[in-house]
Amino acid sequence: MGLSFWVGVAVVTLIAFYWKRVFDFIRNRRKFNNEISKFPGPPALPLVGSTYLFKWNVQEFTDQIFEWAGIFMNEMQGACCLWLGPFPVICALRPEFVKAILESNKVLTKGKEYSIIQKWLGTGLLTSTGDKWRGRRKMLTPAFHFNVLNSFMSIYDREAQILIDVLEKEADTGKVFNFFPYVKRCALDIICDTSMGMKVNAQTNPQHPYVMSVQRLNELSFTYVRLPWMWFPPIWYASGCGTEYDTSLKLVTNFTRQVIEERGTAFRASKARGEELNFDDAEYVAKKRYAFLDLLLSVQDEGKLTDEDIREEVDTFMFEGHDTTSSGMTWAVWNLAHSPSCQEKVFEELDAVFGDSDRPCTNDDLKELKYLEKCIKETLRLFPPVPFYTRSVEEDFDFNGLNVPAGATILIPPFVLHRDNASFPDATNFNPDHFDQEHIKDRHPFAYVPFSAGPRNCIGQRFALMEEKTVLSWFFRKYRVEAGMPWKENKPLPEIITKPAHGTPIRLYRRNRQTETQTSTD
């Protein structure tokens, strides 16, 4: 038997080996596709899926998603399937399907779409899974202790007053201006101070490199998520997006690392003086003004976190804690600008609590602002800051009687779910009465999930509501707003965060509370 014989044997063996693998792949893929085919969805082609139908314009793409969702919801479908290239995404359309996925302890891993964000956030609380996520969640819960959140009131209050002062130049001019950048910078200043104990003064220095880089990272992340061909590194970098993303990422993460180093030095010095974190003492917490970073440093001292672990969590707070709240606040102002009667009710409530004083807002005051809270919740219904979130299915999942095979992704779309007339009568219009108690008790609890729900619900939802109520209470104590364009023309763009297509074009007028009170009395 010569060399040619053994070469032939080797070739036959390789063919048999790879043929078996190819055969198994085809068989498994066929089974996978058969299961997915049980979900209705828009037309799809091999390899490209439904992406060949996607509108390039983001606003038109948003309308397209609503149109598709509306078709399947009208057919009383609980879920549908959208193919992103060769990757199926199962979209939950009904509260009972949303409940099934969000209450599951089996499907906890975030979808592949988060991979671009992982370059920034690593595997912090938002993107981690399994035991790491459970450990981090337990570890970080004390950072949201009510005493810590209450101690942030002075930060909310201070930054809200800066916002009021910065807006002075726009008041009573009769000119339309874009409110969105102002409130976004306010939210960024708040999260920098509360998460890192660091002021970047974005409201008075909007060109700060950190401010600009955070904004660009969010924009580039959405480009990546929306266009599946960008998931291939050669295309991502050839487009220029990859290089720009890396440059912005380096600036942002280096800034965070520098803050951690400086704050860590101060923390260790205080510990050397015998000082210990004590979240149960409200006065002590208020006096010390802890940042989230301080909790992480205390855990690091116990040997549980590295500097890079801390960087991941701080950047996660930064990512989740400023774009989301700024979205909520800007849409609330936009809605109230179009609802004079609702705006008047907000004024009446604020005047009943604060009178004509300029005193600070307290946590007790927030409890009294019940109508303002309903306006915020209604805003989060119509324009949820996180329009979509996903879960990766790592083992077959029973989705209310339909099998979702391992390898698929399930998407929960609050942006669509919250506009279902079956849950919210006249769902496309702003109506704070949707959150009257009699309406809440008759509604499916998973019909409204702006902060997700179940095991992976948003750990910072109380933080967000406190911030938004404080800032908006100051805003409406000082100003009255009018809209600068029709409500329906300023469409929401469901990017990484829900943003207005045309910003927030409003006219701003100073309130004369004494005159208003006299007029209402007359």
CA distance 106 to 58: 34
In whole angstroms, what separates CA 303 from the centre of its chain? 31
Report DSSP letters for 114-143, one per residue.
Answer: GHHHHHHHTTSTTT--HHHHHHHHHHHGGG
Q: In what order do the strands lie in the sheet with 505-510?
A: 177-178, 505-510, 479-483
Alpha helix (H) residue ranges in 227-369: 233-238, 241-272, 282-288, 292-301, 307-337, 340-354, 363-368
- As given in the structure block, the two tokens for residue 214 are 């955070």
Spatial CB neighbours of 362, under 8 Å, sequence gap ≥ 6: 153
The interaxial angle of helices 180-196 and 209-226, nearest 10 deg, is 110
Q: Is 458 annotated as a binding residue?
A: yes
- As given in the structure block, the two tokens for residue 32 are 């996978």
Within 10 A of 5 (CB to CB), how many other CB atoms are there?
A: 9
Within 10 A of 107 (CB to CB), how many other CB atoms are there?
A: 21
> Would you say 126 and 319 are in contact if contact means Cβ atoms under 8 Å apart?
yes
Residue whose pair of structure tokens reads 């969000």 in the numeric block: 102
Nearest to 324 by CA among 387, 271, 401: 387
In whole angstroms, what separates CA 8 from the centre of its chain? 59
CA distance 423 to 314: 37
Nearest to 361 by CA among 479, 471, 282: 471
Within 10 A of 444 (CB to CB), how many other CB atoms are there?
A: 14
Tally: H helices and E strands in the chain? 21, 11
- As given in the structure block, the two tokens for residue 155 are 């930060």
Residue whose pair of structure tokens reads 């116990």 in the numeric block: 302
Residue ranges of the annotated binding site are 458
Residue ranges of the annotated binding site for heme are 458
